[in-house]
Structure 1
Amino acid sequence: MGGERFLIVEDEPLVALLLADALEEAGGTIVGTAAPVEEALRYIESEKIDAGLLDCNLNGRAIDEVASALSCRGVPFLFVSGYGQAGKPRDFADAPVLGKPFTHVQLMRATEALVRQGIRSPV
């Protein structure tokens, strides 16, 4: 990675910290970590974001609105979920999923694939 800007939307503080630390260690920049949907939407409106990592369920609230906002801007994202493929929103069935728990290697592979996807996506 080379300075890509990530938004992390995760309601478990330790998972958010683990994601942020790993991405920063790999050379990424964390635009922000958000748990409420509204906070995530503010980051999307105000920051340049290269990729997003989204928990599927934020304290019982669906992530659909955040995924839609990123998608409308051409920002690639993946879901980070303990529910696997079954946990992601129906409208985003093609989006990648990183299952919890995950290894450092799995996280790096998944985010590198996102970054490559973003390079190919016209914005």
Structure 2
Amino acid sequence: MHQDALTGCNILVVEDDYFVANDIVQLLKSAGATILGPVPSIEASMEILKQQLPTIAILDIKIHDGLSFDVADYLLASSIPFIFFSGYEQKMLPEKYKSAHCLLKPALASDVLRELASAISNAASQQEPTYLAHENSAG
């Protein structure tokens, strides 16, 4: 079920630990996702985001060149869902991220897939439908 939700998704992976990043990439590829990255820094993340917007992102909080909150802010401004995947507990996050999906490391593969699928589902349900205005030409 969770794997189906990720099929065809472009997922940005921001993780500076090579082994963790590799595990995430393999898991997401097996779920049918296309991977943007993985990238170990804010700078590399922003370069990818300037070229292509992902369906969703998975962000480690503490990476090589700082905290990934600038990336999270860019994603929020672009209405792109993300999850934090980090050793930081949700209660340690700044207030504006308190409602963000957050998964503590280490986590089971099934938990990662479930959180990503949930974030995508929540984002889709929060988007308002777009209606086309039609003029009534009768009269």
TM-score clears 0.5? yes
Between the aligned partners of 2:97 and 2:18, the Cα distance in structure 1 is 25
TM-score normalised per structure 2 = 0.81
Equivalent residue, structure 2, for 1:94: 99
TM-score normalised per structure 1 = 0.90
Between the aligned partners of 1:35 and 1:88, the Cα distance in structure 2 is 20
Between the aligned partners of 1:68 and 1:77, the Cα distance in structure 2 is 10
- How big is the shift at 1:109? 0.5
- How big is the shift at 1:91? 2.6
SS in structure 2 of the partner of residue 98 of structure 1: strand
Equivalent residue, structure 2, for 1:13: 18
RMSD: 1.7
For residues 67-106 of structure 1, the aligned pairs below 5 Å read 67-106=72-111
SS in structure 2 of the partner of residue 30 of structure 1: strand
Between the aligned partners of 1:87 and 1:3, the Cα distance in structure 2 is 33
Q: Percent identity?
A: 26
Q: Which amino acid aligns with 2:124?
A: I
Q: Which amino acid aligns with 2:25?
A: A
- How big is the shift at 1:28? 0.7
CA deviations 1:2-36 (Å, max 9, x no partner) are 21010011111111111111011011110221111
For residues 1-123 of structure 1, the aligned pairs below 5 Å read 1-59=6-64, 61-122=66-127
CA deviations 1:42-95 (Å, max 9, x no partner) are 111111310000011113611111000011100000100112214434331110
SS in structure 2 of the partner of residue 74 of structure 1: coil
| Structure 1 unmatched runs, 5+ | none
Give the number of equivalent residue pairs: 123
SS in structure 1 of the partner of residue 119 of structure 2: helix
| Structure 2 unmatched runs, 5+ | 1-5, 129-139
Rg (Cα) greater in structure: 2
Residues 121 and 50 of structure 1, relative CA distance in 2, 3 Å threshold: farther
Between the aligned partners of 1:60 and 1:29, the Cα distance in structure 2 is 25
